[in-house]
Chain A
Amino acid sequence: MKDSQSLSAAVIKDSNVSRLPESLSFQTIDDYIFTLPGYGAQVATFGTMIGFLIFISSFILAIFIYILTTQKKNIFGILKAEGIPNRYISRSVQSQVILLATTGMLIGLGLTVLSGLGFGDKLPFMIQPVFFLIISSLFLICAAIGGIASVRVVTKIDPVGAIG
């Protein structure tokens, strides 16, 4: 009985310890950290910020690729007037989009890792391969969606517009 008054918490490695007083409840370390004042709220805030940042970036990426391609509408019109097959133009657009997105992504990843090394111990930074992989694929998929949308526009261009 004396133990329950002098011991208010214990950190143990093995949950099968039986000598702890009955009045203490069991919690995993992760669960306990979440009950620290402000910790949960902080994680939720940062998580939401990061999530939205990724979401907005991928959205901008898709729109950027779409605008980049449709800006060249006149050139595509001329090429189509000259009889360059739709299939060739579409394939070029789509492969260039993928090349551009992949290069951008690799540069981004490289800079991220480099800045992580630069921070050293001053800033908590961890490379999470799974997380990086998910974001990278999301960016690639969004770029491809932007590419597909622009290919649709390109194939619909009326070559008549190239004359007059």
Chain B
Amino acid sequence: MAKEKALLQMIDVVRDFKQGGEVVHALKKTNLSIMAGQLVAIIGPSGSGKSTFLTIAGGLQLPTSGVVLIEKTDITNMNSKQLSDIRLNRIGFILQSSNLVPFLSVDQQLELRSRAVGQSVNKVSRDKIFQELGIESLRSKYPSELSGGERQRVAIAKAIYGDPNIILADEPTASLDTKKAFEVVEIIARQAKDHKKAVIMVTHDERLIKYCDVVYVMKDGILSLKK
């Protein structure tokens, strides 16, 4: 029953890569499934394989072996164009350095996605998102005019604008103070609770754990449930 609603599944996923003639096991055999409405945290020190995990979950690179299912679709044999389509339509990314284009206004950040697929802006969905995240007043501002917290809100708006079912966040609270960090995580948690998205958040900030349904620890490429 539970498996029915799994939006992201990893089955025996392994990722190795070569570095100076030596094989590095960046991600050891990983099994995981994430349901709609779940906020999952992955914590661990830098270099533990968190980023590798996130790039495979997000269809940015393929595993050396194993299967990745995104909404029941096996992406493991896809070419780069098909992967790009999956990322565009199924996954929303919130990145560490806030994935905003410096020379576009907040409005245009969202417009870019519509234009890339040859559509006009979905004003209804955009205004709803702006209102929900409390950023209506920032619409004509540029990233350099925004505070760190505002920038992350806009990054979240950008990530959910295409209405993906899976959201991947890479250190979304880096460089934010505790209050701002909690505000941002609350918004991310609401995406899981209210909008039934599957959200994975990679972080080394253990204060955020209280918002999460499941917490995994990544260490030396091994993913395990936190006790």
Do A163 and B170 form a contact, CB below 8 Å, given A81-B60, A88-B116?
Answer: yes
How many residues on B have C-beta within 8 angstroms of the other chain's C-beta atoms?
Answer: 28
List chain B residues, Cβ under 8 A from A79. 101, 112
Contact yes or no, A163 B55, CB < 8 A: yes
B5-13, B91-99, B205-213 - the one binding chain A: B91-99
- The residue from B55, B88, B170 contacting A83, defined by CB atoms under 8 A apart: B88
- The residue from B51, B61, B84, B99 contacting A78, defined by CB atoms under 8 A apart: B99
How many residues on A have C-beta within 8 angstroms of the other chain's C-beta atoms?
Answer: 16
A162 to B85, CA, bound (A): 17
Q: How many contacts A-B (CB < 8 Å)?
A: 64
Contact yes or no, B61 A82, CB < 8 A: no
Secondary structure type dominating chain B contacts: helix
State whether the Cβ of B196 lies closer than 8 Å to any Cβ in chain A.
Answer: no
Contact yes or no, A86 B84, CB < 8 A: yes
Secondary structure type dominating chain A contacts: helix
Instruction: Looking at the assembled complex, report how far the CB atom of B46 sits from the nearest CB atom of chain A, in whole angstroms.
Output: 9
A82 to B88, CA, bound (A): 6
Instruction: Looking at the assembled complex, report how far the CB atom of B120 sits from the nearest CB atom of chain A, in whole angstroms.
Output: 15
A140 to B170, CA, bound (A): 42
Tell me the A residues contacting B by CB distance below 8 Å. 75, 78-86, 88, 159-160, 162-164
